Structure 1
Amino acid sequence: MAALPARPRLLALGEPTHGEDVLLDVRNDLFRQLVEEEGYRTIALESDCLAALTVDAYVTSGADAADAGSTPGGADSTPGGPADPARLDDVMAHGFSHGFGASPANRELVRWMRAHNEGRAPADRVRFAGFDGPLEMSAAQSPRRALTALHSHLALRVDASLLPCTALELEDLLGEDDPWTDPAVMGDPSRSVGRTPTAERLRILTDDLTALLDAHAPPPEDGREQEERHRARLHARAATGLLRYHAAMADPTPARLARLLTLRASMMAANLLALAERAPTLVHAHNSHLQRDRSSMTMAGRRLEWWSAGALAHSRLGEEYGFVATALGTLRHHGVHEPPPDTVEGLLHALPADCFLLDPRHLSAAPASAPPAPRPSPWHGYAPLDPAHLPRMDALVYIKHIPEGPKWWPTT
């Protein structure tokens, strides 16, 4: 922290692969230190922003997963005693996306956060957030949850004549969830409902509801109402992002995949910036989502590039955005063995420690005649560091060996 030009409101810690609890254990240790020594109060993961409300309610107020719609962390609520394993199981099953709830390290994070919050005042409790959209690789959610929650919030606070539709009209427009969540849409844009007249009507209603929310500001001193407003703004962002994403799912042109990646990054960045407004936050996700450089990947035989959520957040926050990348040496259970000595990972692998933090500028300042070479990846699930990105990292964590651990992440 002392080496950074400013105290980041968003301190982003990346990882080069998913599914390895050693990396998440390092993250957990860092978060505890940031809470105890630097005043950080929120951790945000690469997980569904709406599902994460279940986790936040549990760690801040002890609420059941079914009660996550109520205000978490209010002045009259606090986690009540040791966590019931069955309730924790439910939170892990419903509070994470992408399979992350199966991680023992994520379970330990949630358990620690709940224990930390016992007996603490609301302002001193740690919070949990997801910053990804309500998306999976194969499908996107229906906008139902986000839109109905936004409408309900406003219906309790503004005159009914100001609402652009009734709750029944909104329910009728949303219809059944199955057409929205059909996984076949990813391979067949013609199956998408994202550009139907009904979907277009929902996009207009979402814009109207969001404008109405922006025009209704609670008193700053009303902490509970401010918390409800933050939640409503999250639902507004999720509804807007989902409807844009579904419209892009219906795009039959070659730009479709690039547009989907761009929209996901924009949703992520909007959620990160909203968190930055509230409190210093540790963010954890894949390096590619948090780096300041453009991200890239190959899908359907095409190279796709887009600005990552980290790059978008950095463009708004400047020095208040910090990025720490993580690199690894071996991942033998996936065929990743000792790195070539002329790569960034190879240079670090020659050092004696098994896990350390360093200033990447020392590596990027290597002689121009022999800059570090890119490391090839023998496994699609692991992304080595790009040496060209070193100058735009604030710090680098290196972990020499990743032993095989519990198999909770799908790798095929």
Structure 2
Amino acid sequence: MTVSRSLRDAARPFSPSAVTDLLPPRTRVLALGEPTHGVEAFLDLRNELFRHLVAEHGYRSVAVESDCLAALAVDAYVGGATDGELDDVVREGFGHGFGEFAGNRELVRWMREFNNGLGEGEERLRFYGADGPLEMAGAAAPGPALIRLRDFLGDHLPVELLPSEGELLRLCGPEDRWTEPAAAFDPGRSVGRSADAVQLRLIADELVVLLAAHEPQFAAEADPEAYWRAHLDARTATGLLRYHAAMAGIGPDRFNSLMRHRGLMMADNLEAITRREARRGPTLVHAHNRHLQREAGRLPLGTHQLRWWTTGSLLATRLGESYAFVATTFGHRAPDDHPDPETFEGRLAALPEACTVLDPRVLAQTPAGRAKPRVPADHTYFGIDPGALGLMDGVVFVREIPRQAGAFGGG
């Protein structure tokens, strides 16, 4: 297929600077999306971009689509506060099984090496998880985060303002009542709307009010890391209680509600990270395109057609021009998975480079910008909607990726 002049005008061979040249000047959050998980090429691309952002643009943090609580152990490791085997840190510190990927291991290894080489007074790199402690099979119990929040408040406030630890433990009960895998698809197996759960939501709300109402006191006397952790526990506990309540819902909006709550938890975490990092530099975020896109999310699920406001749409509304989104897509990954030549990815497949950066503003004016969306060959990835190019700041096209076995590879 011949490459048109208009398509050549939109394209540059991949380099980190080709990506950053497309970004708005006041970018505080660079959201790099991927079309599927578990592809090392996308993780390698992220790692190369992050190293460039650190060296040339003052970035000092990265947030990935992973459990926000588990990620604390990774951050402690890259900051030198803890030691241990790298493989163990990555395996236990990434949610969704993402710790098995070599690219995530390399990111953590490099961040620790970079921090070890810093001089006195230089800002270290921080690692964050953007996601809640959620998996496809369900959600974590809210009790541990709620009890840690109560303990933090108890270190600074009169005990009579707080529920007793015994009361919280009684209401939470054993963790396995919250983590029942069958509750993901059977609301009758969820504890999320039980009398205990309703009472816990009221208590959580009261604790969050105390955390906010005493902000001047905590800012003056609390350890900054402990104060940050208290806010993280507050967001996590309240988010999990809402998510479990949605799991117990029986209406037709149940799955939409779960997507909304997950997207909101990610957006709240990323907004908090942005505020924390404001003095130190911008943040790179890496997650699925569907989470980070500015437009509403749409997803077929059995007989349901899900639609929700994504994490990216929420952040773009809150942060304005400080939020930038670069989507990644690919051409083919197996002999039986080449894109239709009339689709967006099919048009880009004419590009000769293995990896290309494209300006979406120019791309929208080309035949590729008017092409039809790709219909995925299986459930493990989503193509780019060319009608949404105006909501992107950049597109990265990887010509070929290997097919991988497992949940994310379609094999």
**TM-score between both structures, scaled by the size of structure 2:** 0.89
Query: 3-state SS of the aligned residue for 2:135?
Result: coil
1:336 is aligned with what amino acid?
D
**Among 104, 107, 110, which residue is 2:108 paired with?**
110
1:318 and 1:130, CA in 2 relative to 1: closer, same or farther beyond 3 A?
A: same
| CA contact 2:263–2:309 (8 Å) conserved in 1 | yes
**CA displacement at 1:40 relative to structure 2:** 0.6
2:134 aligns to what SS in structure 1?
Answer: coil
Q: What residue number does 2:359 align with?
A: 359
Gaps of 5+ in 1: 65-83
1:80 corresponds in structure 2 to none
Q: Secondary structure at the match of 1:61?
A: coil
- Counterpart mapping for 1:210-359 below 5 A: 210-217=208-215, 225-279=223-277, 280-332=282-334, 335-337=336-338, 339-359=339-359
Return the alpha-carbon distance in structure 1 between the equivalents of residues 370 and 21 of structure 2.
28
How many residue pairs match? The answer is 387
- 1:226 positional shift: 2.3
Task: Give the secondary-structure state (helix, strand or coil) at the position aligned to 2:226.
Answer: helix
Match of 2:49 in 1: 30
AA partner of residue 202 (structure 1) = L
Indicate if the aligned counterparts of 2:380 and 2:408 stay in contact, CA closer than 8 A: no
1:188 paired residue number: 186
Identity of aligned residues (%): 50
For 1:110 and 1:237, how far apart are their aligned partners in 2?
A: 25
Change (3 A) 1:184 1:25: same
Q: Distance in 1 between matches of 2:220 and 2:122?
A: 13
Structure-1 separation of matches of 2:157 and 2:244? 29
CA shift in 2, pair 1:350/1:10, >3 Å: same
For the residues of structure 2 that align with 1:15 and 1:386, how far apart are their CA atoms? 14
The alpha carbon displacement at 1:306 in A equals: 0.6
Q: Moved runs in structure 1, 4+ residues, more than 4 A?
A: 218-224, 404-412
1:331 Cα deviation after fit: 1.1
**SS class of match (2:79):** helix
2:381 match: 382
Distance 1:358 1:220, change over 3 A: farther
Distance in 2 (alpha carbons) for counterparts of 1:37 and 1:255? 46
Q: 1:397 aligns to what SS in structure 2?
A: strand
- TM-score w.r.t. the length of structure 1 is 0.89
Pairwise CA distance, 1:227: 2.4
Contact kept? 2:370, 2:387, Cα under 8 Å: no
Deviation at residue 58 of structure 1 after TM alignment: 0.9
Cα offset, 1:7, TM superposition: 2.6
Contact 1:103 1:408 in 2 (8 A): no
Hey, what's the Cα distance between the residues in 1 that align with 2:410 and 2:346?
Answer: 25
Aligned residue type for 1:332 = A
1:77 aligned partner: none
Amino acid at match of 1:179: R
Decide whether aligned partners of structure 1 residues 293 and 171 sit closer, same or farther in structure 2, where only a CA change above 3 A counts: same
Distance 1:394 1:150 in 2: 38
What's the CA shift for 1:201?
0.7
Over 3 Å counting, the alpha-carbon distance change for 1:304 and 1:27 in structure 2 is: same
Distance (Å, rounded) in 2 between the aligned partners of 1:130 and 1:59: 14
**In structure 1, distance between residues paired with 2:407 and 2:194:** 38
Secondary structure of 2:241's aligned partner:
helix
CA distance in 2, matches of 1:132, 1:122: 30
- Find the counterpart in structure 2 of residue 201 from structure 1: 199
Structure 1: distance between partners of 2:409 and 2:181: 18
CA RMSD of aligned residues (A): 2.1
